[in-house]
Amino acid sequence: MLENYLPILIFIGIGLVIGMAALIIGALIGPHKPDAEKNSPYECGFPAFEDTRLPFDVRYYLVAILFIIFDLETAFLFPWAVVLHKIGLYGFLAMMVFLGLLTIGFIYEWKKGALEWQ
Amino acid sequence: MNLAQIFTDLVFFSFAAILVGSALMTIISRNPVRSALFLVLAFFAATGLWILLEVEFLGLILILVYVGAVMTLFLFVVMTLNIDVEEQRSSFVRYLPFAIVIVAMLVILMVYVISPGHLNPSELTTTGGQPVNYSNTTELGMVLYTDYAYPFELAGILLLVAIIAAISLTFHGKGNNKTQNPDQQILIRREDRIRMVKMQGDKK
Amino acid sequence: MFNDLLLILWIIIKIIVIVVPLLLGVAYLTFFERKVIGLMQSRIGPNRVGPWGLLQPIADVLKLLTKEIIIPSASNRYLFVIAPMLTITPALAAWAVIPFSQGMALANINAGVLYLFALGSLSVYGVLVAGWASNSKYAFLGAMRAAAQTISYEIAMGFSFVGILLAAGSMNLQDIVLKQQGGFWHWYWLPLLPLFVTYWISGVAETNRLPFDVAEGESEIVAGFHVEYSGITFALFFLAEYINMIMVSTIAALLFLGGWLSPFEGIPLLGPLFAWVPGIIWLFLKIGGFLFLYIWLRATFPRYRYDQIMRLGWKVLIPVTLVWVVVVSLGVEFKIAPWFI
């Protein structure tokens, strides 16, 4: 089984090399004449005010949390989908109960208005 | 010992070194975003180790769930914080005794678990040498939804509780956002906005 | 000993055979895109460099290579430089498992679909790190938007993969294609039509292309997460975006349109007539079709509003896929012919 993963390891290595090589070539060929105006963050011509890293709308965190839960659900669905034709009705019903529970959660989110964006 | 074996060992030790190194950097690094990214690297190295153990499904799920989802949330949170390094250093001293107690408890627990009689490393068998078409996912699926259906449903309930908890902790209704209502805007008629007034012109 | 080294060398040659045409493909995809959009808008498109403008992409590459790499003074230098690499590496590495024809895959792993899905979930990192390291408000806003959008559509995408796995009973990409044998009506686009549409919409949203490109949104946040990038660092983001577009098209062709299988299979006269065409040609034609669709969408639709994007992802696509996964699993449970045998 491991022999299948050897090309992937090498491919990831080559991907890193390509990224690095491009950056190095670009840095060598391109000019390098920094000045204070050029290096300041772009803010439509104004000098930058306030810090960039401000607290964000809580909605973004909520989306990330809900995403973790649904991602876990997909993680459970993947092996089930692969073996469903072998595990018969029992396995099918087990997953339907599981999906039912998550559908309840999904409906709760919806009704609470956690999926609304304004 | 042939070359393939040497190569496998080499891969194992490089992944192990990356794992330990990046885990250390996660703790040492001053910048929280850099810590989080080193933790991501640690997860990658762990995936490499798991795939070496021929459990491809668990390895890839580690990337999918931890790197793809959990660490994204971490980054979301850490990136929007502007953490003051000075303040961090003062709290480090304050929490030090507490941290030492926790570390000591963890060490005791680990020693207890790895001790002979529980998880004796010398008794563990390796899973190496599976055939080319071996599918770890199928093996897992065959037992997870039949033999372990009850714990599986418990996991479902846990996820449901997580959804409800997450929403009730972070979300408090619409708040005081001032927003447009496009439906109302579109349905507006001329008569609602304009009133025609007959004006008498000034007469001389 | 010698044989092992030869094996590694052979793998490296194969990787080069995949990567070089891919990079050329990206270069000419940008040219094709500009030409097609030009024609759709009654313009000519690039026509100055070389005959019919054919050397335009080469000129673009040379220009990007010789431009200055600007690192903003307020940025986190290391992360700022690493971000483009974080974007390009997973985009390239995903190609390791793609089968181009029967038996023509670099790594024929059993967890192929999961591997693609896992690598796809990494695309959010390059964007987030780039946006944060730039320390610019537009970049940061673009990055947060892009990240929230990407993860929202990933769920729908994952569910549509589940439908495919149900139908094929395998995560191996070769097996999935071979299960679709038997001609046009046996491909999975028909029994899994809602999942196919969902996959395509999520794919467009994942690559942050129009009409879902609020992450870049030139007219409001300038260029989003890569506003501070210049020269080759910008080129890497651009390259990764186009590689991902080709990737999404390839996955769509493999999973829903029978990969390298001929569309005329099983049809009396046309089937034997086209039997000589190698499978890889069919695959490339299907990929080309999807790429044209990408460009067509870009030329046709205005940008979605952000709340509309989130509503489509969470309130339309997820319920649709959830229902259809249950329908497909019923089909598998009761072995509905000819798809679920």
C27-46 burial code (b ≥16 CB/10 A, e <16): bebbbbbbbbebeeeeeebb
* Co-location of C16 and C165 in the same domain: no
What HEC string does chain B produce?
A: CCHHHHHHHHHHHHHHHHHHHHHHHHHHCCCHHHHHHHHHHHHHHHHHHHHHCCCHHHHHHHHHHHHHHHHHHHHHHHHHCCCCHHHHHHHHHHHHHHHHHHHHHHHHHHHHHHCCCCCCHHHCCCCCCCCCCCCHHHHHHHHHCCCCHHHHHHHHHHHHHHHHHHHHHHCCCCCCCCCCCHHHHHHCCHHHHCCCCCCCCCCC
Indicate if C134 and C115 belong to the same structural domain: yes
Q: Which residues of C touch B64 (CB under 8 A)?
A: 114, 117-118, 121
Write out chain A residues lying below 8 Å of B163, CB-based. 66, 69, 102, 105-106, 108-109
How far apart CA C229 and CA C235 sit, in angstroms, is: 9
Kindly state whether residues C37 and C139 are assigned to the same domain: no
Instruction: Identify the pLDDT of residue C131.
Output: 84
Whether C22 and C132 share a structural domain:
no
B154 touches chain A (CB under 8 A): no
Q: What does the mean pLDDT of chain C come to?
A: 86
**Model pLDDT, residue B168:** 85
| Residues C263, C256 contacting (CB under 8 angstroms) | no
The reported pLDDT for the residue numbered C199 is: 93
Of the candidates C17, C39, C66, which is a domain's last residue?
C66
Check whether C218 has a pLDDT greater than 80. no
Asked if residue B63 belongs to a domain, the reply is no
User: What's the pLDDT tens digit per position in C288-322?
Assistant: 999 999 999 988 888 888 888 888 888 899 999 99
CATH of the domain at A30: 1.20.58.1610
Look-up of token digits 């940061």 = C140
Same domain, C252 and C223: yes
Residue numbers of the domain that contains B146: 135-168
* Residues of chain A numbered 23-82 and touching chain C (CB < 8 Å): 23, 25-27, 29-34, 36, 38-44, 48, 52-53, 56, 60, 63-64, 67, 70-71, 74, 77-78, 81-82
A90 has a chain B CB within 8 A of its CB: yes
> How does residue B15 score in pLDDT terms, banded at 50, 70 and 90?
very high
The Cα A103–Cα C57 span in angstroms is 49
Q: Looking at the structure, do residues C24 and C119 belong to the same domain, yes or no? A: no
Q: Is residue A102 part of a domain?
A: yes
Task: Give pLDDT tens digits for B90-134.
Answer: 677 778 888 899 999 999 998 888 777 666 666 666 555 666 667
Lookup result for tokens 């194969």: C14
Percent of chain C with pLDDT over 90: 25
* Per-residue confidence (pLDDT) for residue C290, from 0 to 100: 92
Q: Is the dihedral of CA B162, B163, B164, B165 positive or negative?
A: positive
Q: How far apart are CA C145 and CA A61, in angstroms?
A: 12
Q: In Å, how far is C85's CA from the nearest CA of chain A?
A: 5
Residue B158, in any domain of the structure? yes
Q: What is the pLDDT of residues C87-120, one digit of tens each?
A: 899 999 999 999 988 888 888 888 889 999 999 8
Are both C178 and C151 inside the same structural domain? yes
pLDDT: which is higher, B4 or C181: C181
Report, as an integer, the average pLDDT of C114-137.
86
Same domain? For C54 and C78 the reply is no
Looking at C26, C44, C66, which one is the last position of a domain?
A: C66
Of A12, A23, A30, the CB nearest to C89: A12
Write phi, then psi, for C196 (nearest 5 degrees): -60, -50
Q: How confident is the model at residue C253 (pLDDT cuts 50, 70, 90)?
A: very high
Q: Supply C185's token pair.
A: 């009506």
Structural domains counted in chain B: 1
Q: How many CB atoms lie within 10 A of CB B199?
A: 6
Specify if A52 maps to a domain. Answer: yes
Mean pLDDT of C219-238: 80
- Rounded to an integer, what distance in angstroms lies between the CA atom of residue C110 and that of residue C96? 13
* Same-domain status, C157 and C280: yes
Q: Could you tell me which residues come within 8 angstroms of residue C36 by beta carbon, excluding any fewer than 6 positions away? A: C45, C292, C295, C296, C299
Residues 6+ away with beta carbon under 8 Å from A90 = B145, B146, B149
pLDDT tens track for C321-338: 999 999 888 888 887 766
The band of C140, judged by pLDDT with boundaries at 50, 70 and 90, is confident
Buried b (16+ CB within 10 A) or exposed e, B20-33: eebbebbeebeebb
B3, B64, B75 ranked by CB distance to C118: nearest: B64
Give pLDDT tens digits for B51-84: 888 888 888 999 998 988 888 888 888 887 766 5
Tell me which chain A residue has its CA closest to the CA of residue B4.
Answer: A3
Nearest to A25 among C65, C113, C144 (CB): C65
- Residues facing residue C105 across a β-bridge: C99
Residue finishing a domain among C66, C95, C115: C66
Cβ distance of A11 and C15 shorter than 8 Å: yes
Contacts of C83 (CB under 8 A, 6+ apart): C126, C129, C130, C133
Q: Check residues C90 and C275 and name the one with the higher pLDDT.
A: C90
User: Min CA distance, A23 vs chain C (Å)?
Assistant: 6
The answer to whether position C293 is within a domain reads yes
Residues B40, B22: Cα–Cα separation, whole Å: 9
Degrees to nearest 5, angle at CA C42 with C39 and C47: 60
- What are the tens digits of pLDDT across the range B147-193? 888 899 999 999 999 888 888 887 776 555 666 777 788 888 888 88
**Would you state the pLDDT for residue C168?**
87
Select from B79, B80, B159 the Cβ nearest to the Cβ of A73: B159
Q: Flag whether A117 is in a domain.
A: no
Within this chain, do residues C47 and C95 fall inside the same structural domain, yes or no? no
b/e sequence A6-16, b meaning 16+ C-beta within 10 Å:
bbbbbbbebbb
Strand partners of residue C99: C105
Nearest of C153, C149, C131 to residue C141 by alpha carbon: C131
Cross-chain Cβ contact B76/A64 below 8 Å: yes
Determine which of A51-55, C168-172, C197-201 has the lowest per-residue pLDDT on average: A51-55
Average pLDDT (C218-229) is 73
Total structural domains within chain A: 1
With respect to residue C340, please indicate whether it lies within any of the assigned structural domains: no
Q: At what angle do helices B3-28 and C2-40 cross, to 10 degrees?
A: 60
Residue B193 counted as domain residue: no
Q: Would residue A34 count as lying in a domain?
A: yes
**C247: which 2 tokens?**
């990737």
Instruction: Please report the pLDDT score of residue C149 as a whole number.
Output: 86
> Domain residues for C151?
73-333
Q: Is C41 helix (H, G, I), strand (E, B) or coil?
A: coil
- Is residue C174 domain-shared with residue C278, that is, in the same domain? yes
Q: What DSSP character marks residue C313?
A: I
Q: What is the full per-residue pLDDT of chain A (118 aa) written as tens digits?
A: 677 888 898 999 999 998 899 888 888 887 877 777 666 766 666 666 666 666 667 778 888 888 898 999 899 999 998 888 888 888 889 899 999 998 999 898 888 877 777 6
pLDDT surpasses 70 at C227: yes
Q: What is the mean pLDDT of residues C67-90?
A: 85
DSSP string, A66-101: HHHHHHHHHHHHHHHHHHHHHHHHHHHHHHHHHHHH
Total domains in chain C come to 2
Percentage, residues of chain C above pLDDT 70: 96
In this predicted structure, the answer to whether residue C12 has a pLDDT above a threshold of 70 is: yes
Higher pLDDT, C297 or B87: C297
C-alpha distances (whole Å) from B184 to each of A29, B173, B194, C98 are: 57, 21, 16, 50
CA distance C205 to C226: 17
